[in-house]
Chain A
Amino acid sequence: MDTGIPTPALTIAGESFGSALMAGTAGYPNRQVMLDALTASGAEIVTVSIRRVDLAGPRESLVDLLAGKYRLLPNTAGCATARDAVLTAGLAREALETNWVKLEVVGDRETLYPDVEQLLSAAAALVGQGFAVLAYTSDDPITAEKLADLGCAAVMPLGAPIGSGLGILNPFNIEAICRRLTAPVILDAGIGTASDAARAMELGCSGVLLNTAIAKADDPVAMARAMRLGVEAGRTARHAGRIPKRLYAEASSPELGLIGS
């Protein structure tokens, strides 16, 4: 059956993917649950961080577990300056042989909000070095547009603070960002449950990136499946074209032929 829904589900930097959902790899109860949840999510892109090796001894390599099955997207999580983010991205490129990076430069430990000034500076440097930059940013349309203009491969506004599960706090801004940008917009951070993921897609996002909502759910594998369905439902609804909102009722049953008339 031709669903009329465009494929591929997501294209970033000229690469196509069958799923618009990207998933993180942190915070699962254990490795097996993570692997099962990633499978259930249908995600083809998964994020990893870059950290110092544990000198107390080697651990099972995440690369061995995931490479070949997923496109690994390294992040610069935890970096507070453009300088650290650019170095981390360079190390990630070397370690994973990828020029893709999820650029994160946070200004504050409590909110984990992006430091927009440092973010723009790092994005410019990394685009100049040939990176495909997927930039985690606030839900400010102006910053989103600046990131796109710098040549970022994707712009990733937050729905709500990282790990908060508050959903999409400013859907009007997310919609405005999606409307104004030609670059893919990926809703990153804040998703709490499947309806949030669906909403992001309905607002016009090209994809959704989430981690905690799956990893910390009571049943991460079931939630991963719910997120996959949520993203698919939202994407399908977006393309189906929703009805306009009305302030008053409009009968759906015919008015003609009513008995007693």
Chain B
Amino acid sequence: MDIRLNGEPYTLADSALTDLLAACEVDTTRRGVAVAINDAIVPRGAWSSTKLKDGDAVEIVRPHSGG
């Protein structure tokens, strides 16, 4: 399945969002990460039940230095 991940093309073996997060080395047990699919925020509590579809635009973000 092909999605866009943080603006780049990305090919997935599995549709589970948690698999994608694991592939991105995101520690899902700690705060500091947020996910949006097609501009809709996916609350942390819904990550484990979320399936991705072909063509989804996924954003995975975290706090960075800023002013």
Contacts and interface: CB of A to CB of B under 8 A. Distances in A.
Given A51-B64, A212-B67, A96 B31 contact: yes
B41 to A, nearest CB: 5
A26 B44 CA distance: 27
Interface in B10-54: 24-26, 30-36, 39, 41, 43-44
A48 B24 contact: no
A94 B64 CA distance: 15
B65 to A, nearest CB: 4
Prevailing SS type, chain A contact patch: mixed
Interface stretch (A8-16, A56-64, A116-124, A237-245): A56-64
A134 to B, nearest CB: 13
B62 A51 contact: yes
A48 B63 contact: yes
Nearest to A84: B39
Contacts of B64: 48-51, 62
A62 B34 contact: no
Contacts of B61: 50-53, 91, 95
A137 interface: no
A77 interface: yes
A26 B66 contact: yes
Interface of A: 24-28, 34, 47-53, 55, 57-58, 61-64, 67, 72, 74-75, 77, 87, 90-97, 162, 209-212
9 contacts: A48-B64, A52-B61, A53-B24, A61-B63, A74-B66, A87-B41, A94-B44, A95-B33, A96-B32
Interface of B: 5-8, 24-26, 30-36, 39, 41, 43-44, 59-67
